Amino acid sequence: MICSRIKKSITIAMLLLLISGSFAAFTGTTRAQEVLIPDIGSQAAVLMEFSRGEIIYSKNGSEILHPASLTKIMTLALAYEALQKGRVAWEDTVPISQKAWETGGSQMFLEVGQQVPFGELVTGIAVVSANDACVAVGEHLYGSEALFVQEMNKKAAELGLKNTLFQNSSGLPDSQHYTTAEDMAVLSRYLISTFPEYLKLHSQKEFTYDDIKQYNLNPLLGRYSGADGLKTGHTNEAGYCLVGTASQKGLRFITVVMKASSKEERLKDTENMLNYAFRNFVLHRAASAGETLATLKVARGEQRTVTLQLGQHLEAVVPFDRQEELQTNFVLPQNVPAPVAKGDALGSAQLLLEDDVVAEAPLLAAADVNRAGAFSLFFRSIGDFFAGLWQAFINIFM
């Protein structure tokens, strides 16, 4: 019993020494500090850090408002999902109905009876906010716009959008069609993270269909460095709205502006939030993929231990002035049984800011460890027994 406790204490001490030697510089928290971004004139505004979905700044973020064409972010999410799952192909032709043709507002100027490729309709929605294309897509996927709207609301519930309700696929005015800036940020993060390949559509500056050239109204495109989306909106009820996103040096942020008084105000507020984000946050890398970070005991293995390497970069987006507060934590079992294969995930390394995990990466076995034979295990146990006795003797009498 004494020998076992001594051996366990030595093992733990060595592991703690390795951990502290690798990460002595870090201490931590993940709760966003309350920030004040001055001169935000819009009725509601939200700034979200993309990688973790943390809301950094919110002005009336939970206030119920009309979304106008920000609605199309959900319409496009369902269209991208259908493409991803193979329910529809980019080249599939879609017949244009009377209802799609009659839909007012921004449009592709579709004609009744036209056969339009599904991909053209999706592009028209993403680039020029085509209302007629929204109806055509909804009808093609679910038989009618009404059934499509049911799916929109179902997806909203799945994503936890508690203050969102859709009545149509385009965002045309309806007293019972509403959302919040915070819900729009969550929805936008879902679209970008799940369907990143379609950002190329949202950053497309112009779109031509039937010889009619139209332009993307997102004022960030070509103006703000790294901007590649996402959606504008405007009705008399909703005011001027904009979901913006930009990526610089490994950082991505999402902004939502709702019920701005003008195009100029929604752009100013969006740029104000993005400027704050990129000036005050940094992508901090605590350790790189492939670094050896720990050693784990292997029960009944030919080797007694296996070294653990980081499976991916351990990094997180944090406020620039809080990097020194980061702390690293290892999640490891006491030991693992042999055999162990190189590349096996045996634990993880976490990066903490206060009590919150802001990043986590797997710890992988750096080598194979085969199971030891019975003969080897027998003599090892004898050696361990006498080594333990000798250590106990030293501790008592020396």
Give yes or no: 129 in active site: yes
Instruction: Output the pTM of the full model.
Output: 0.83
Q: Measure the CA–CA gap between 387 and 391, rounded to whole angstroms.
A: 6
Residue 380 domain flag: yes
Amino acid 338: pLDDT? 87
**Are residues 145 and 275 located together in one domain of the fold?**
yes
Structure-model confidence comparison of residues 90 and 34, the more confident one: 90
Q: Are residues 255 and 345 in the same domain?
A: no
Mean pLDDT taken over the chain: 88
Give the residue numbers spanning the domain of 126: 44-280
Whether residue 203 is found in the same domain as residue 334? no
104 and 218, same structural domain?
yes
Residue 35 placed within a domain: no
Q: Do 241 and 365 belong together in one domain?
A: no
Question: pLDDT at position 384, please?
Answer: 53
In a domain, 125, yes or no: yes
| 10 within domain boundaries | yes
In a domain, 39, yes or no: no
Q: Tell me, what's the pLDDT at 93?
A: 98
Residue 352 predicted with pLDDT over 80: yes
- Inside any domain, residue 36: no
User: Rg of the chain over CA atoms, in angstroms?
Assistant: 28
The catalytically annotated residue of 22, 42, 58, 69 is 69
Could you report the per-residue pLDDT of 213-262, keeping only the tens digit for each?
Answer: 999 999 999 999 999 999 999 999 999 999 999 999 999 999 999 999 99
My answer on whether 353 and 271 are in the same domain is no
The verdict on 55 and 201 lying in the same domain is yes
Q: Are residues 8 and 99 in the same domain?
A: no
Residues in the chain: 398
One domain, residues 301 and 274: no
Which of 250, 280, 310 is the C-terminal boundary of a domain? Answer: 280
Q: Mark whether 105 and 240 lie in a shared domain.
A: yes
| 144 touches 123 (CB < 8 A) | no
Q: Does residue 12 surpass a pLDDT of 90?
A: no
Query: Is the pLDDT score of 60 beyond 80?
Result: yes
Residue 77 pLDDT exceeds 70: yes
Residue 146 and residue 58 share a domain = yes
Residue 164 carries which side chain, given as an amino acid letter?
A: T
Mark whether 193 is an active-site residue: no
CATH of the domain at 319: 2.60.410.10
Is 65 a member of any domain? Answer: yes
Structural domain ending residue among the three candidates 255, 280, 305: 280
Residues 300 and 167 both lie in one domain: no
Catalytic residue among 22, 106, 129, 169: 129
**CA dist., res. 206 & res. 208, Å (int):** 7
DSSP, res 211: T
Backbone angles phi, psi at 381, to 5 degrees: -65, -35
CATH number reported for the structural domain that contains residue 61 in this entry:
3.40.710.10
The answer to whether residue 38 is domain-embedded is no
Q: How confident is the model at residue 375 (pLDDT cuts 50, 70, 90)?
A: low
Concatenate the DSSP letters of all residues of 44-81 into one string.
EEEEEETTTTEEEEEESTT--B--GGGGHHHHHHHHHH
Q: Is 188 a catalytic residue?
A: no
310, with CB counted inside 10 A (0-12, 13-18, 19+), is: buried
Task: Order the strands of the 327-331 sheet from edge to edge.
Answer: 327-331, 345-353, 356-365, 305-310, 292-299, 335-337
> Which of residues 228, 260, 280 is at a domain's end?
280
pLDDT in tens, 143-201: 999 999 999 999 999 999 999 999 999 999 999 999 999 999 999 999 999 999 999 99
Which pLDDT value is given to residue 301? 76
Query: By 3-state DSSP, what share of the chain in percent is helix, strand and coil, each rounded to 5?
Result: 40, 30, 35
What tens digit of pLDDT does each residue of 282-330 get? 999 999 999 999 999 988 878 889 999 999 999 999 999 999 999 999 9
Predicted local distance difference test score (pLDDT) of residue 387: 52
> Catalytic residue among 59, 72, 259, 268, which?
72
Per the structure, how many domains does the chain have? 2
